[in-house]
């Protein structure tokens, strides 16, 4: 992989900003993205393909009379295509409607210091290296249990760079690496198929353990066999990280988003300083977390990322902002303008949404439960009501806990409730923190969750 | 274009000895709008040009994607793809083969009545702002309205080493409208989608007034809705919910890649899995529908594929690889979101065939149950567990529609549930949507109203 040079990208972006201003824009911002990815993929029990994806693009956001226009291109080879993109965004701005709340792009601030976001060892992984890692993971799964069939997965390594230049003097460049490893499995025995079980790891540095991921994915599937139905009642539920991430992504993470709050879509509106969760819950949105999957020096608008207290010992402290929503309340942006790439304008999203872990090991947490469920993943979390926080989902794969031990897998159990009630019913957090997308959290134990079984 | 692409594919065959090689080049132009309440967040336009190279060497796939049509870069990319295939083949156990198939040479042109690329941004803003206005003015309890609009026009060029060359115009018009209403501490949420491959004329049928009214009315009606009881109940499902049920609960299991991964349909071909009144199609030929197209991304013509006939599984959805493996014909279901990714088996327009009952007949014998009219999300699992969230539902009491319920969802086992379908209506609707399987695909789902003897209803807390 050969990445583009910082100086070349910045110079291209500066020229584009200047062109926009020269042609009559009041303000201009250029975002340049580069993503170089190599993947070794597993399908139905074997490594069947390798891919290399080169994705570069430039996005122009320009403002004319408080109306915002946006345009992008993935043709960066000639300046004509870039110039055309800038002019298109200006044309879009002129066609659009003024926004009286528009106060401008952010101004220049020193970018944040971040640690462990780039590893040359990841950058230099060859396709043969990735095939070897995928193979290690696959063999480890096969060795663990003969009833397990690895259906899908792989290993991917990426180099990413992001550049923001705007007409207020912001000029910043950051780059990093990411390595991901995942395996989805099912187990089959005498006509029974388990739900899909899944294990994964994602890191910025080259410290991923494919052997553990393979073994764990196989162990989960094998233990999901002989699933039984469970009864309908309110009970204790341990949410493992992936289940928690799915649930929060469509509920709590929206409720703390300033865009939702300002537009009357959040149940947290007007509740800063109030108790919204049990006392053992402290959450930071930490854009600077060492080695975090969403750790960068600056956000999608060039605002330095930061650590923001969201919930402190159960009390709601802050929402997350981009420049636009912050300006509306005469506040500072919290550096949460997120861009997935060059295809869209920035959106407010969490960076690393960090639940401070507790002291108990997962084993201790299980051993303290007389009757409950351990939920690894959810089906249908995206059908939650994002405004009210109400959810009604299938818990799968899931295991029954009785008298401090896991007894059997559970099938067909639904969980129904409201995320805001659930937050108040969190009675413990374990010490097994890990990174799952934008969530960094341990297992959490919630009391009194409604389970609909047979 | 053909000559350039042909030379690139030749490199894979002649220099690297590829068994199979294809190139899929795309020129895409997108317009996107986001409206929040009556504010235009941004008017956006973008160009995406690029090519996907896919080769089969020693029975393993190599794939490369590059955002360029530059001849030298394309040759570099195909070399990359070949090297990737060789690396992947190192640990291969069973070589991949493709089923033999006819070759085609064709040029498919879009013929919209209203070409979105010829309609100004001002006009598109007028339409979307009118939706927002109707939605917000419907009732003062409607607090927010978010509208996303997308149109995509362009051309896809497909060439493989077997002699197929297809130039295929792409045209999609899509919009999603979200509204929330609030009264006291109660929040409700409502969603509508519009989608067409015909043209901008979709807004002549789905006018801003009709769509805005539909989304706002639902959000407001839900304010007085109660929580459903959790448990097992008889239900009547509307076409919109039947569609997502057929798509999520059954359709994914019948995608041959997932069937081969061990889905519960694996050994069910030719067997009865549903009551005999159930017939299900996946059809890529419905004119103007959001899931329609002429050729798939392996150059195979689309078709109307019969999946379940009178309760018996008679077909699966295939690409050339799974068709070879299961000794079937490819069905034209191989689709890639864009040039950045490789094609996967995806659905098109998936629906249950209507039968003879009226809506009244479906509900009249239910003492207590639910009528679920419109869905909000759904998800299936390979073991046959499905979940469908409901955004509009009502109680059925003594054969009549009763009070609204909110935030319900239904779940169950697909095969058990298909066997419990005991009456199928005579009406029919097809609804546009987007399906996620790592990539996004534009699809339609639908059917008539149906009655199901029992499903699990996930109720409120």
Tell me which chain A residues have a C-beta less than 8 angstroms from the C-beta of B46.
59, 71-73, 343
CB spacing of B46 vs A72 below 8 angstroms: yes
> Could you tell me the CA-to-CA distances from B199 to A326, B125, B131 in Å, in that order?
39, 16, 18
Cα gap A297→A305, rounded to integer Å: 6
Cα gap A296→A113, rounded to integer Å: 9
Q: What is the ipTM of this complex?
A: 0.91
CB spacing of B458 vs A392 below 8 angstroms: yes
Residue A445 has pLDDT above 70, yes or no: yes
Confidence at residue B438, expressed as pLDDT on a 0 to 100 scale: 87
Cα gap B130→B136, rounded to integer Å: 10
3-state SS of A358-417 is: CCECHHHHHHCCCEEEEECCEECHHHCCCCCCEEEEEECCEEEEECCEEEEEECCEEEEE
- Measured between CB atoms, which of B65, B231, B388 is closest to A53? B65
| Mean pLDDT of all residues in B276-282 | 98
Report DSSP letters for A193-257, one per residue.
EPPPEEEEEEESSS---HHHHHHHHHHHHHHTSS-B----EEEEEEE-HHHHHHHHHTTHHHHTB
pLDDT band at B460 (very low <50, low <70, confident <90, very high): low
Sign of CA dihedral B269, B270, B271, B276: positive
Contact residues for B457 (Cβ-Cβ < 8 A; gap 6+): A452, B228, B229, B230, B231, B232, B233, B235, B370, B408, B409, B410
- The fraction of chain B above a pLDDT of 70, given in percent, is 99
Give residue A236's Cα distance to chain centre: 27
Cα gap A155→A138, rounded to integer Å: 11
Question: Taking a C-beta distance cutoff of 8 angstroms, is the pair B158, B165 a contact?
Answer: yes
B378 touches chain A (CB under 8 A): yes
The tokens describing B365, both together, are 């014998």
What distance in Å separates residue B356's CA from the closest CA in chain A?
A: 32
What's the farthest any 2 CA atoms get from each other in chain B?
A: 74
| Mean pLDDT of all residues in B214-228 | 95
* Exposure of B284 in the CB half-sphere (CA atoms within 13 A): 21
- Local structure of residue A6 (DSSP, 8 states): H
Give the position of tokens 């998800």.
B379
The tokens describing A181, both together, are 């490893």
CB spacing of B143 vs A263 below 8 angstroms: yes
Tell me which chain B residues have a C-beta less than 8 angstroms from the C-beta of A74.
47-50, 67
Confidence at residue B91, expressed as pLDDT on a 0 to 100 scale: 87
Give residue A448's Cα distance to chain centre: 28
B150-202 pLDDT per residue, tens: 999 999 999 999 999 999 999 999 999 999 999 998 999 999 999 999 999 99
Nearest partner of A58 among A24, A15, A97, judged by Cα = A15
CB spacing of A40 vs B375 below 8 angstroms: no
Confidence at residue B185, expressed as pLDDT on a 0 to 100 scale: 87
Confidence at residue B247, expressed as pLDDT on a 0 to 100 scale: 96
The residue of chain B with its CA nearest to that of A420 is B461
Per residue in B365-400, is it b (16+ CB within 10 Å) or e — as a string?
A: ebeebbbbbbbbbbbbbbbbbbbbbbbbbbbbeeee
Cα gap B307→B269, rounded to integer Å: 10
What distance in Å separates residue A386's CA from the closest CA in chain B?
A: 8
The residue of chain B with its CA nearest to that of A59 is B46
| Mean pLDDT of all residues in A344-367 | 97
B261 touches chain A (CB under 8 A): yes
The tokens describing A445, both together, are 């134990």
CB spacing of A40 vs B88 below 8 angstroms: yes
> Could you tell me the CA-to-CA distances from B71 to A11, A99, B50, B55, B346 in Å, in that order?
26, 44, 12, 18, 31
CB spacing of B187 vs A385 below 8 angstroms: yes
The tokens describing B139, both together, are 């009732």
- The strand ranges marked E within A4-108 are 27-43, 46-64, 67-73
B95 touches chain A (CB under 8 A): no
Torsion of CA B447, B450, B456, B461, to 10 degrees: 80
Tell me which chain B residues have a C-beta less than 8 angstroms from the C-beta of A77.
68, 70
Give the position of tokens 């994002």.
A386
CB spacing of A265 vs B143 below 8 angstroms: yes
Confidence at residue A276, expressed as pLDDT on a 0 to 100 scale: 98
B42 touches chain A (CB under 8 A): yes
Mean pLDDT of all residues in chain A?
Answer: 96
Q: Outline which parts of chain A fall under CATH 3.30.2290.10.
A: 6-223
> Could you tell me the CA-to-CA distances from A307 to A247, A259, A297, A338 in Å, in that order?
23, 19, 12, 15
The tokens describing A441, both together, are 């959290």
The tokens describing B79, both together, are 């070399």
The residue of chain B with its CA nearest to that of A128 is B87
Give the position of tokens 């969802």.
B409
Interface test with B, best of A392, A447, A450 (most B CBs within 10 A): A392
* Exposure of B149 in the CB half-sphere (CA atoms within 13 A): 28
| Mean pLDDT of all residues in B332-336 | 98
Tell me which chain A residues have a C-beta less than 8 angstroms from the C-beta of B390.
383
Sign of CA dihedral A21, A25, A28, A30: negative
What distance in Å separates residue A114's CA from the closest CA in chain B?
A: 30
B69-90 pLDDT per residue, tens: 999 999 999 999 999 999 999 9
B458 versus B360: the higher-pLDDT residue is B360
Rg of chain A in Å (alpha carbons): 24
pLDDT band at A388 (very low <50, low <70, confident <90, very high): confident
B58 touches chain A (CB under 8 A): no
Phi and psi at residue A18, to the nearest 5°: -65, -40
B187 touches chain A (CB under 8 A): yes
Domains annotated on chain B, with CATH: 2-224 (3.30.2290.10), 231-458 (no CATH)
- The answer for B 221-260 residues in CB contact with A (under 8 A) is 230-232, 257, 260
- Measured between CB atoms, which of B36, B120, B388 is closest to A263? B36
Residue B2: is it exposed, middle or buried by C-beta count within 10 angstroms (0-12/13-18/19+)?
exposed
Residue B234 has pLDDT above 60, yes or no: yes
Residue A1 has pLDDT above 70, yes or no: no
B388 touches chain A (CB under 8 A): yes
Cα gap A337→A345, rounded to integer Å: 9
The tokens describing B173, both together, are 């018009």
Interface test with B, best of A29, A195, A379, A386 (most B CBs within 10 A): A379
Residue A406: is it exposed, middle or buried by C-beta count within 10 angstroms (0-12/13-18/19+)?
middle
| Mean pLDDT of all residues in B236-259 | 96
Question: Taking a C-beta distance cutoff of 8 angstroms, is the pair B24, B51 a contact?
Answer: yes
Cα gap B87→A119, rounded to integer Å: 23
A358-368 pLDDT per residue, tens: 999 999 999 99
B460 touches chain A (CB under 8 A): yes
Give the position of tokens 């790592």.
B438
Cα gap B302→B293, rounded to integer Å: 7
| Mean pLDDT of all residues in A265-269 | 94
Sign of CA dihedral B211, B214, B215, B216: positive
B380 touches chain A (CB under 8 A): yes
Question: Taking a C-beta distance cutoff of 8 angstroms, is the pair A119, A315 a contact?
Answer: no
Confidence at residue B42, expressed as pLDDT on a 0 to 100 scale: 84
Tell me which chain A residues have a C-beta less than 8 angstroms from the C-beta of B408.
392
The residue of chain B with its CA nearest to that of A388 is B187
B71-88 vs A127-144: helix axis angle to the nearest 10? 30
The tokens describing B350, both together, are 């998936």
- Measured between CB atoms, which of A48, A130, A383 is closest to B376? A383
Cα gap B296→B106, rounded to integer Å: 13
CB spacing of B61 vs A49 below 8 angstroms: yes
Interface test with A, best of B60, B385, B416, B417 (most A CBs within 10 A): B385
Cα gap B152→A188, rounded to integer Å: 43
Interface test with A, best of B32, B95, B407 (most A CBs within 10 A): B407
Sign of CA dihedral B314, B318, B322, B323: positive
B104-119 pLDDT per residue, tens: 999 999 999 999 999 9
Residue A3 has pLDDT above 60, yes or no: yes
Quickly name the fold that domain A6-223 has: PmbA/TldD fold (3.30.2290)
| Mean pLDDT of all residues in A30-57 | 95
Residue B461 has pLDDT above 80, yes or no: no
- The fraction of chain A above a pLDDT of 70, given in percent, is 100
Residue A142: is it exposed, middle or buried by C-beta count within 10 angstroms (0-12/13-18/19+)?
middle
CB spacing of A49 vs B46 below 8 angstroms: no
A305-325 pLDDT per residue, tens: 999 999 999 999 999 999 999
CB spacing of A95 vs B88 below 8 angstroms: no
Per residue in A350-387, is it b (16+ CB within 10 Å) or e — as a string?
A: bbbbbbbbbebeeeebbeebeebbbbbbbbbbbbbbbb
What distance in Å separates residue B224's CA from the closest CA in chain A?
A: 14
What distance in Å separates residue A289's CA from the closest CA in chain B?
A: 27
- Measured between CB atoms, which of B87, B384, B459 is closest to A127? B87
CB spacing of B459 vs A152 below 8 angstroms: no
């Amino acid at each position: 992989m050969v990445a583009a040079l910082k100086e070349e990208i910045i110079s291209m972006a500066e020229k584009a900003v200047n062109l926009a201003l020269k042609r009559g824009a009041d303000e201009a911002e250029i975002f340049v993205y580069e993503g170089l990815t190599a993947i070794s993929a597993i399908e139905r029990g074997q490594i069947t393909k390798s891919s290399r994806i080169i994705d570069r693009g430039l996005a122009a956001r320009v403002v004319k009379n408080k109306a915002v226009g946006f345009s992008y291109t993935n043709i960066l080879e000639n300046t004509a295509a870039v110039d055309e993109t800038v002019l298109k965004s200006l044309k879009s701005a002129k066609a659009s409607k003024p926004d009286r709340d528009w106060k401008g792009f952010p101004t220049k601030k020193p970018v944040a210091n971040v640690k462990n976001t780039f590893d040359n060892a990841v950058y230099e992984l060859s396709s043969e290296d990735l095939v070897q890692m995928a193979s290690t993971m696959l063999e480890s799964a096969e060795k663990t249990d003969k009833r397990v069939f690895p259906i899908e997965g792989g290993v991917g390594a990426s180099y990413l760079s992001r550049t923001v230049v705007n007409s207020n003097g912001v000029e910043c460049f950051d780059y990093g690496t990411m390595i991901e490893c995942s395996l989805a499995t099912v187990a089959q025995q005498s006509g029974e198929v388990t739900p899909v079980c899944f294990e994964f790891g994602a890191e910025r540095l080259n410290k991923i353990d494919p052997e553990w991921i393979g073994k764990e994915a196989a162990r989960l599937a094998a233990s999901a066999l002989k699933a039984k139905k469970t009864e309908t009642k309110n009970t204790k539920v341990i949410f493992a990280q992936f289940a928690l991430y799915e649930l929060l992504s469509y509920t709590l993470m929206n409720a703390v988003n300033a865009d939702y709050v300002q537009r009357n879509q959040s149940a947290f509106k007007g509740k800063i300083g109030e108790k919204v969760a049990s006392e053992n819950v402290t959450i930071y949105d930490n854009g600077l977390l060492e080695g975090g999957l969403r750790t960068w020096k600056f956000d999608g608008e060039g605002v330095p990322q930061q650590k923001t207290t969201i919930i402190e010992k159960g009390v709601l402290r802050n929402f997350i902002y981009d420049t636009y929503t912050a300006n509306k309340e005469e506040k500072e942006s919290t550096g949460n303008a997120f861009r997935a790439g060059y295809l869209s304008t920035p959106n407010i999203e969490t960076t690393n949404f960090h639940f401070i872990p507790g002291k108990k090991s997962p084993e201790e947490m299980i051993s303290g439960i007389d009757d409950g469920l351990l939920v690894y993943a959810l089906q249908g979390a995206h059908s939650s009501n994002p405004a009210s926080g109400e959810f009604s989902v299938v818990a799968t794969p899931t295991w029954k806990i009785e008298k401090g031990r896991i007894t059997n897998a559970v099938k067909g159990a639904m969980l129904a409730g409201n995320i805001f009630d659930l937050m108040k019913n969190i009675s413990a957090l374990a010490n097994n923190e890990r990174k799952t997308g934008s969530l960094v959290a341990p297992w959490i134990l919630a009391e009194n969750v409604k389970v609909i079984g047979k | 274009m053909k000559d350039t692409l042909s030379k690139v594919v030749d490199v894979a065959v002649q220099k690297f000895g590829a068994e199979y090689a294809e190139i899929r080049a795309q020129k895409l132009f997108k317009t996107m709008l986001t409206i929040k309440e009556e504010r235009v967040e941004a008017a956006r336009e973008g160009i995406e040009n690029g090519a996907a190279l896919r080769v089969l060497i020693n029975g393993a796939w190599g794939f490369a994607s590059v955002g360029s049509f530059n001849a030298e870069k394309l040759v570099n990319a195909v070399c990359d793809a070949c090297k990737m295939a060789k690396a992947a083949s190192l640990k291969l156990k069973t070589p991949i083969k493709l089923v033999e198939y006819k070759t085609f040479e064709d040029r498919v042109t879009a013929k919209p009545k209203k070409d979105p690329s010829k309609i100004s941004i001002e006009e598109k803003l007028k339409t979307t702002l009118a939706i927002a206005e109707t939605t917000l003015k419907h009732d003062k309890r409607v607090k927010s309205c978010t509208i996303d609009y997308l149109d995509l026009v362009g051309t896809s060029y497909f060439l493989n080493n077997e002699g197929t060359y297809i130039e295929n115009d792409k045209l999609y018009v899509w919009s999603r409208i979200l509204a929330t209403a609030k009264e006291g501490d109660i929040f409700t949420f409502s969603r509508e989608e519009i989608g067409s491959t015909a043209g901008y004329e979709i807004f002549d049928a789905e006018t801003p007034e009709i769509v805005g009214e539909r989304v706002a009315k639902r959000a407001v009606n839900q304010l007085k809705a109660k929580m459903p009881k959790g448990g097992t109940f008889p239900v009547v499902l509307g076409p919109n919910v039947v569609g997502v049920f057929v798509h999520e609960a059954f359709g994914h299991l019948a995608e041959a890649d997932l069937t081969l991964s061990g889905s519960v349909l694996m050994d069910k071909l030719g067997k009865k899995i549903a009551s005999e009144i159930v017939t299900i199609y996946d059809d890529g030929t419905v004119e103007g529908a959001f899931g329609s197209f002429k050729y798939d991304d392996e150059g195979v013509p689309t078709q109307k594929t019969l999946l379940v006939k009178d309760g018996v599984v008679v077909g699966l959805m295939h690409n050339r690889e799974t068709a070879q493996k299961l000794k079937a014909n490819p069905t034209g279901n191989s689709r890639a979101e864009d040039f950045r990714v490789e094609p996967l088996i995806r659905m098109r327009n998936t629906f249950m065939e209507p039968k003879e009952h009226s809506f009244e007949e479906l509900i009249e014998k239910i003492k207590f149950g639910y009528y679920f009219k419109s869905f909000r999300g759904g998800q299936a699992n390979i073991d046959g567990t499905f979940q469908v969230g409901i955004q509009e539902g009502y109680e059925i009491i003594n054969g009549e529609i009763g009070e609204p319920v909110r935030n319900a969802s239904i779940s169950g086992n697909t095969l058990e549930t298909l066997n419990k379908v005991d009456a199928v209506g005579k009406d029919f609707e097809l609804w546009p949507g987007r399906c996620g399987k790592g990539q996004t695909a534009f699809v339609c789902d639908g059917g008539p109203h149906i009655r199901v003897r029992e499903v699990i209803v996930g109720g409120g807390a």
